[in-house]
Amino acid sequence: MRQQLAYHLVVHALEGRAGWTSLSRFASAVTHVINGHLPYERYNVAGRSRASQGATEGQIEAAVVELLGLDLTPGVRLISSLTSQAVMVDAFNEYNESARIAVRTNMRYEQGEKVADRRDQILVARRQMNLDGADPWLCRAGTLAMFGGLLDAVARNHRAGRAEATSLASLAELLGVRGSAAAEVASIFEKEGSMPVSELARKLGCHQRSLERKLRAEGMTAEALRSAARLLRAADRLASDESLTTIAIEEGFSDLAHMSRSFKMSSGAQPSALRNMLRADVAAANRHNRNVARPSVADIRFSPTL
């Protein structure tokens, strides 16, 4: 049986990576653009460990919200750009069904209490374990906090319009590492696409070995930055009418199958599924689909595990 996984953001929130530097946060964001998952056992151990240390749901929720702002994984990045809550819920459910994760969480709307001729909607979460073992309550809190953070982003977009997608370069600026070698390399890859490291070094006015040494000191490699930038460039084109094959070839993937595997590893979803999500969101906006009131995170509750 293949190893079961958990989403990296919730794992890191549970582990409480307080010792991270700005550069290590940037390196982590790059790494998880390429592979957005970590072993489930690490997630489970972190949940049990933090509970034994007396961590609260509020602390985990705060950590999730902070890390969500640094998460450039294409799936999360695109979901955060949606304007329809209904489409966002469907996308979250599809991710949980398609990704190789150990605990699948399904969200659905249920009718709440009727207040002043209006019946509120309540989001109910059902969790299905794909392996034997406990499901620590702080792990559940982390998952709900991530869903709530995404729901809040979609609500903001619904009110004020889509926010501009965060890039590797803008994340580096946010973290205060814009002058680092990794940030400069990421910026070139994002603007100009893939190129040999020798050409990259010439653009930066240094020798290739010197550049590679600087990147290693920052916990990065040129190949990781190239792969992350390639995925983000391709994700930014999914809203277009271009064929997926065209996007794959022009962004430096060997073929569409290569791009599909890369998106699946990163986001647990095929590029075709993410494109369908974006199109469904546009259709929902065109229908002015605003009849579902946004539930707050406090309104989200778990039903018994299936």
Q: Domain of 238: which CATH number? A: 1.10.10.60
Q: Are 16 and 142 found together in one domain? A: yes
pTM for this model (two decimals) = 0.90
Specify if 274 maps to a domain. Answer: no
Q: Are 135 and 18 found together in one domain? A: yes
Q: Are 104 and 37 found together in one domain? A: yes
Q: Are 263 and 230 found together in one domain? A: yes
Q: Are 71 and 112 found together in one domain? A: yes
Specify if 57 maps to a domain. Answer: yes
Decide if 114 contacts 291 (C-beta within 8 A): no
Among 164, 144, 167, which residue's Cα sits nearest to residue 81? 164
> CA-to-CA distance for 5 and 38, rounded, in angstroms?
6
Give pLDDT, residue 303: 53
> CA-to-CA distance for 123 and 109, rounded, in angstroms?
5
Domain that holds residue 68: 5-164+291-302
The count of C-alpha atoms lying within 13 angstroms of the C-alpha of 197, restricted to the half-sphere facing its C-beta, is 18
Q: Which DSSP symbol is given to 241?
A: S
> CA-to-CA distance for 243 and 263, rounded, in angstroms?
16
Q: Are 159 and 94 found together in one domain? A: yes
Q: Are 35 and 130 found together in one domain? A: yes
Specify if 92 maps to a domain. Answer: yes
Distances (CA, A) of 239 to 109, 197, 247: 27, 30, 11
Q: Are 159 and 22 found together in one domain? A: yes
Q: Are 60 and 147 found together in one domain? A: yes
Specify if 245 maps to a domain. Answer: yes
Give pLDDT, residue 109: 86
Q: Are 109 and 235 found together in one domain? A: no
Specify if 122 maps to a domain. Answer: yes
Gyration radius from the chain CA atoms: 20
The two structure tokens encoding residue 188: 């070139």
Q: Which DSSP symbol is given to 287?
A: T
pLDDT single digits (tens) 60-117:
999 999 999 999 999 999 999 999 999 999 999 999 999 999 999 999 888 766 655 5
Q: Are 68 and 121 found together in one domain? A: yes
Specify if 130 maps to a domain. Answer: yes
Angle between helices 168-175 and 22-34 (to 10 degrees): 160
Distances (CA, A) of 177 to 15, 19, 26, 190, 292: 23, 16, 8, 16, 41
The two structure tokens encoding residue 250: 């022009």
Give pLDDT, residue 299: 61
Query: What domain count does the chain have?
Result: 2
Q: Are 61 and 140 found together in one domain? A: yes
Give pLDDT, residue 144: 93
Residue ranges of the chain with pLDDT lower than 50? 1, 289-290, 304-306
